Structure 1
Amino acid sequence: MDQRPTVKIQFLNEFRELFNESWRNIVFYGGRGSGKTRHIGLALVLRGRTKRLRILATREIQNTLADSVHKVLKDIIEQYGFTDYEVTDKTIRNRITGTEFLFAGLRHNVNEIKSMEGIDIAWVEEAQSISEDSLKVLAPTIRKTGSQLIFSYNRLNELDPVHVRYVIKNPAKTYARKVNFDVLERAGLLPEALKLERDEDAKDPALYAHVWLGEPVSQEDTAIIGRLAILEAMKRKVDDDGAIEIGADIARMGNDRTVFKKRKGLRLIETRSYTKLRTTEVCDKLEAFAGYDKKTLIKVDDTGVGGGVTDEMMKRGYNVLAINFGAKPMDSDKYPNLISEAWFYMATIMPTIQLDMKDDVLMELSNRHWKMDTKGRRGVESKDDYKKRGFRSPDEADATILCFYTPHSTSEFRLRII
């Protein structure tokens, strides 16, 4: 006979689906003070008291247990006096049902995650940071009959991989709900300290929208291409009438990517990305990407190491237009260099094209800044400055720019622009 004492628990109705075992995926997203983390933790602790469960608590990066939800679960267990749980510095286990909580980061524990067996529930906290690669590992790993994936996060960008997969695409057996601070405030549970913090942040509308309303991070005014315009291009459907053209951005450093983009008319139809390829290997891949059609126009970033690819592809008889982004622009009164002209050209055609829905593309196209030079010309920030702001090399964006960029005169496709 169960001798555990009965305790009274206040559990908000907005989170009741956490007890519904028919869902494969449960998603709660929104701003600060919504109670997401606590209610998920409480639901899992309660469910673990009714039957044996193997629960993986994870996030993209977890260097120490302090980075995990271990403390959240420990605090809930102590608050309600659930003495049937044994809590150590590394583990949480229910002595009666055998429920156990496991803690591991996704990015640095891929093989460990893949080898885990019998996981009933995987809870991904701070899921806005989870990469597409990590999602591809996690979802098929949690494959036990009746198993569930639970995600909680505050959106960072419109195309956070977890948001695209489980909210925008909304696969079968998925429950998704946005919750904000008003959920706790209506129940009289929003702490005064959070109210004061919220009211202070309300002085900055963009900060308030992201932190408290769960909206994606706002785009800065100095961005060349508006985020909304990019999203509309990603949702747009256009005919693929027109010639096929390819843009190829060639990697310059070890962690940079070589990216190929192909369009037919105004519709982007294919993308390929590679790392750590030699020049001949890049050319082999590029030939295959072009379908070995030597009439297809291939625009190669000829800056730096790209020149080797240009030369080799020309030797192989391909229709190559070599573009040096550092070269003189067509309109030197408006732009200091060709790359700036190409970026602003991209901004003008954005309302007419169709792009692929990729988080990297959105991030890189929407976050490149511009500034005015001493001659009143608009110039795109350097790649080094862009990377200093915490972004990786904008290879997806540069390949997209190349793919759609149309110089005023392309009659001599083999002529380098210098």
Structure 2
Amino acid sequence: MQAQTKKATLNPALRKFWTSPARNRVLHGGRASSKSWDAAGFAVFLTNTYKIRFLCARQFQNKIAESVYSLLKVQIERFGLQHRFDIQRDKIINVATGSEFLFYGLWRSIDEIKSMEGIDVCWIEEAHNLTEEQWEILNPTLRKSGSQFWIIFNPRLSTDFVYRRFVTNPPPKTVVRQINYVENPFLSDTMLEIIESAKAEDYDSYEHVYLGVPRDDDDDSIIKRSWIMAAIDAHKVLGFAPRGVKRVGFDVADSGADKCANVYAHGSVVEWADEWKAGEDELLKSCKRTYNVAKEREAAVTYDSIGVGASVGAKFAEINEARRNEGETFLVRYSKFNAGGAVYEPDRNYQPGIKNSDMFSNIKAQAWWLVADRFRNTFNAVRNGETYSDDQLISISSETPYLERLIDELSTPKRDYDQNGRVKVESKKDLAKPNREGGPVPSPNLADAFVMCFPPDAGSLDVWTKLAQ
């Protein structure tokens, strides 16, 4: 089967799923299974036949391109219905039936959604991040007779709320359907070859990615996903403001498919992120890009100084010198972060009776654990009402670009140990191994840049002296 044979039609395997009476339609499974494609096709069919108001939602949506807008647009074109739909900048309207598609991010707009009237279908795409609190708001919001939820996702953890609520123990009037690539009649030979290769290399990873088998837990992760979710907009929930050092973390691409990344934090609040492809011969270009970000935000830079990044300090010095000669008064301060370097304040206790030098293998491990401590404190403050000062907490603005990927990357690396029993962070090399438990993952560039916003030596006078040079 070749991709070009795909026609504007629905997957016949899902016909019963879409037509059975239900309040909740739950469609889950692995990648390449046509879940979202089929949902978009059926949604276009319904809105072209009846007057229906669709609310298309996902957890984080900072721009329309992150929604199912493009998928619906493609299906409208494939059905040849462009003349019946008015595709606007932020909504889609059927001019013949009066149907409309609205697009919202749950995290930022849940209160606005709560006051909406006349919604017939709430389609929650990539619903694995749906929280129990959000469901308690959404469920009674759809009060129109015959209204429905479409809950579509690739399972992550068996402990996630959406999996427990709608798959393990589904409520009444719920139709649950698992579908995987083996039921997708439109899959290309190339994609089938990719899947078979993944199956041969690591069956457990293949089961999770392509058969939608959820992972049991994230107990081995340094930073638990639930902690990160509790930290989204935690500064608003807990009432603390961004204040303190402004810093940009700069993770430098090594080679191949690796990417550069920036993350910006003001005090305990992360507000922005960026990622881009750049080769080793483009280091100066990447440094200028990061420099301009720091200049715009009046921030210092902490950069990865291993490998290609070893030359970053020299590049920043060149840029500062050129600006000084041009009469500029604001020069960007910078410091290096050597992930394999010595632990900061080795003789100081990390916990009672445990020195930093006995706990951590290197400064990267120390940085990750200190960030994890902040996330755990934030979780306990948000969920359990515990009290901490703002420099013991952490918050991620819901407006941060690449937010969902940042959440994934922060919750992926697992704890490891050196030969002396000290903790360390799972290496990029180990993360990429085909036989890695949980499957191979790309380099966590955004997560590394994030952690560099909170280096263990952030408050030392020595560091600020170096930054000022």
How far apart are the structure 1 equivalents of 2:352 and 2:192?
A: 54
Could you say which residue in structure 2 is the equivalent of 1:162?
162
After the TM superposition, which residues 218-257 of structure 1 pair with which residues of structure 2 at under 5 Å, given as runs?
223=220, 255=234
User: Equivalents in 2 of 1:391, 1:136: separation in Å?
Assistant: 32
Aligned CA distance change for structure 1 residues 131 and 389 (closer, same or farther; 3 Å): farther
Partner of 1:87: 87
Alpha-carbon spacing, 1:207–1:96, altered in 2? closer, same or farther (3 Å): same
Measured in 1, the distance between the counterparts of 2:450 and 2:203 equals: 24
Contact kept in structure 2, 1:19 and 1:43, CA below 8 Å: no
TM-score for both structures, normalised by structure 2? 0.48
Counterpart position of 2:415: 369
Measured against aligned partners, the alpha-carbon deviations of 1:230-272 in whole angstroms (never above 9, x if no partner) come to xxxxxxxxxxxxxxxxxxxxxxxx959xxxxxxxxxxxxxxxx
Instruction: Tell me if structure 1 keeps the 8 A contact 2:180–2:211.
Output: yes
Equivalent residue number for residue 311 of structure 2: none
Match of 1:207 in 2: 205
Instruction: Provide the residue aligned with 1:216 in structure 2.
Output: 214
AA of the residue aligned to 1:197: I
> Which whole-Å CA distance do the structure 2 matches of 1:207 and 1:138 have between them?
33
Contact 1:15 1:39 in 2 (8 A): no
Tell me the secondary structure at the aligned position of residue 136 of structure 1. helix
Change in 2 beyond 3 A, CA 1:12/1:104: same
Q: Which residue of 1 aligns with 2:145?
A: 145
Give the letter for the 2:63 counterpart.
Answer: T
Q: Give every structure 1 segment of 4 or more consecutive aligned residues whose post-TM-superposition deviation is greater than 4 Å.
A: 217-220, 274-277, 363-368, 378-382, 387-392
**Superposition map of 1:63-82 within 5 A:** 63-82=62-81
User: Which residue of the partner structure matches residue 30 of structure 2?
Assistant: 31
Please give the per-residue CA displacement for 1:267-303, whole angstroms capped at 9, x wherever unaligned: xxxxxxx9569xxxxxxxxxxxxxxxxxxxxxxxxxx
**Cα shift readout 1:20-45 (whole Å, capped 9, x = no counterpart):** 3x301000001111110111111111
Higher helix share: 2
Q: Is the Cα contact below 8 Å between 1:24 and 1:173 reproduced in 2? A: yes
Give the Cα separation in 2 of the matches to 1:201 and 1:60: 29
SS of 2:145 mapped into structure 1 = coil
Q: CA deviation at 1:130?
A: 2.2
Q: Which residue number corresponds to residue 353 of structure 2?
A: 328
Please report how far the alpha carbon of residue 50 of structure 1 lies from its aligned counterpart in structure 2 after TM superposition: 2.2
Q: Give 1:41's aligned residue.
A: 40
Using the alignment, how far apart are the partners of 1:16 and 1:191 within structure 2? 25
1:195 to 192, 204, 215: 192
Q: Which residue of 2 aligns with 1:247?
A: none
Alpha-carbon distance between aligned partners in 2 of 1:69 and 1:381, rounded to the nearest angstrom = 36
Matches of 1:183 and 1:174 in 2, distance apart?
A: 22
Q: % of aligned pairs identical?
A: 30
Letter in 1 for 2:99: T
Q: Which runs of 5 or more structure 2 residues have no equivalent in the other structure?
A: 1-6, 225-232, 241-348, 360-382, 384-407, 427-445, 452-469
SS of 1:159's partner is: coil
> 5+ unaligned residues in a row in structure 1: which ranges?
1-6, 228-253, 257-273, 278-323, 338-357, 393-418
Instruction: Give the 3-state SS of the residue equivalent to 2:152 in structure 1.
Output: strand
Sort the Cα spacing of 1:66 and 1:224 in 2 relative to 1 into closer, same or farther, 3 A.
closer
Change over 3 Å in CA distance of 1:12–1:159 after alignment to 2: same
Tell me the amino acid that sits aligned with residue 38 of structure 2.
H
Could you tell me how far 1:389 is from its partner in structure 2?
A: 6.9
Letter in 1 for 2:17: E
**Distance change in 2, residues 1:10/1:326 (3 Å):** closer
Counterpart AA for 1:27:
V
1:130·1:162 contact (CA, 8 Å) conserved in 2? yes
> 2:55 aligned with 1:56, yes or no?
yes
Indicate the RMSD between aligned Cα atoms, in angstroms. 4.0
Cα pair distance change 1:213/1:391, threshold 3 Å: farther
Report the Cα offset of residue 75 of structure 1.
0.9
Question: Once structures 1 and 2 are overlaid, which stretch shifts more, 189-198 or 70-79?
Answer: 189-198
Helix, strand or coil at the partner of 1:96: coil
Q: Give the direction of change, closer, same or farther, for the CA distance of 1:79–1:48 in structure 2 (3 Å limit).
A: same
Counterpart code for 1:111: D
Q: 1:391: Cα distance to partner?
A: 10
Q: Measure the CA separation in 2 of the matches of 1:223 and 1:136.
A: 30
SS of alignment partner, residue 14 of structure 2: helix
Which amino acid in the other structure matches residue 369 of structure 1? R
- In 2, Cα distance between equivalents of 1:368 and 1:195: 30
The answer to whether the 8 A contact 2:32-2:181 is kept is yes
Determine the C-alpha separation between the residues in 2 that align with 1:175 and 1:28: 8
Instruction: Give the number of the structure whose alpha-carbon radius of gyration is greater.
Output: 1
Name the aligned partner's letter for residue 205 of structure 1.
Y
Tell me, in whole angstroms, the C-alpha distance in 1 between the residues paired with 2:42 and 2:450: 37
| Structure 1 stretch displaced more, 162-171 or 23-32 | 162-171
Matched position secondary structure for 1:102: strand
For 2:100 and 2:234, the matched residues in 1 are separated by 39
Read off the aligned partner of 1:326 and give its amino acid letter: Q
Identify the residue that residue 397 of structure 2 maps to in structure 1.
none
